Amino acid sequence: MPSALILIADGTEEIEFVTPYDVLIRAGFQVTSVGINLKSQYATCTRNVKIIPDTTDLPSEPTTDILILPGGGPGAATFVASNSVQHLVRAYRDAGKHTAFICAGTTALVASVKGAGKTEGLESTKMVRVTSHPSVKKEIEDAGWDYADESERVVINGKVITSRGPGTAMEFALTIVEVLVGKEKRQEVAGPMLSPEVVKA
């Protein structure tokens, strides 16, 4: 069974958390959510939706096939500031695992590389081609990253998947399904949900 770890913090964007969590469950994944530095037992998201994570115990090494970081400015800032989250992002990349970031969550990827040092050859030291929410585009470009054309709603570069924002969360989630378990499973999941990619005029 494929597996995913998805992080959540106060100020995480609800749609970007719930959509991949839901879609991956539909695709047969074992999904675990981890709350990061929460002020309560639940995360208070950007629109004040409250979500109780599965756990607040963040592993120090990869435990799943993919690590997913949603956006939302304040939530992403928590991921950037957390040494434990930064370590885990680097650990997933160095272990050859998939990582996925959406919206401002991409800034946590950028920060993880900045904090990785100069150890030659490690995946965690490598910049890749990415996208994000437009509000953090300049920050990412100024850090020297290859920023994809804004027409690209989901970008895959090696084992790193990035996407743009709440409106691309479904494509982001379905892309994760396709990358990890195949196009047939993506279509199987997208159909009953009446995803735009399968709805005919």
Q: Which of 180, 166, 198 is nearest to 28 (CA)?
A: 180
Q: Say if CB 89 and CB 108 are below 8 A apart.
A: yes
Q: Domain coordinates of the chain in residue numbers?
A: 3-190
pLDDT tens for 130-159 read 999 999 999 999 999 999 999 999 999 999
pLDDT tens for 11-32 read 999 999 999 999 999 999 999 9
Q: Which two tokens stand for residue 144?
A: 């020297």
What does the pLDDT read at residue 166? Answer: 98
Task: Report how far residue 16's alpha carbon sits from residue 21's, in angstroms, rounded to the nearest whole number.
Answer: 9
Task: Report how far residue 174's alpha carbon sits from residue 177's, in angstroms, rounded to the nearest whole number.
Answer: 5
What does the pLDDT read at residue 125? Answer: 87
In this structure, what DSSP letter does residue 37 have?
S
Looking up tokens 């004040």 gives 48
Q: Identify any residues that bridge with 32 across adjacent strands, giving them in sequence order.
A: 5
Task: Report how far residue 179's alpha carbon sits from residue 189's, in angstroms, rounded to the nearest whole number.
Answer: 14
Task: Report how far residue 145's alpha carbon sits from residue 137's, in angstroms, rounded to the nearest whole number.
Answer: 10
Instruction: Give the list of residues 6+ apart from residue 83 with CB closer than 8 angstroms, or none.
Output: none
Assign domain 3-190 to its CATH architecture.
3-Layer(aba) Sandwich (3.40)
What does the pLDDT read at residue 124? Answer: 86
What does the pLDDT read at residue 201? Answer: 45
Q: Say if CB 66 and CB 97 are below 8 A apart.
A: yes
Could you please report the per-residue DSSP string of 174-197? HHHHHHHH-HHHHHHHHTTTT-TT
Which are the catalytic amino acids? 16, 103, 133
In terms of Cβ atoms closer than 10 Å to its own Cβ (0-12, 13-18, 19+), residue 60 is exposed
Q: What is the pLDDT along the chain (201 residues), one digit of tens a residue?
A: 999 999 999 999 999 999 999 999 999 999 999 999 999 999 999 999 999 999 999 999 999 999 999 999 999 999 999 999 999 999 999 999 999 999 999 999 999 998 776 665 688 888 999 999 999 999 999 999 999 999 999 999 999 999 999 999 999 999 999 999 999 999 999 999 998 887 654
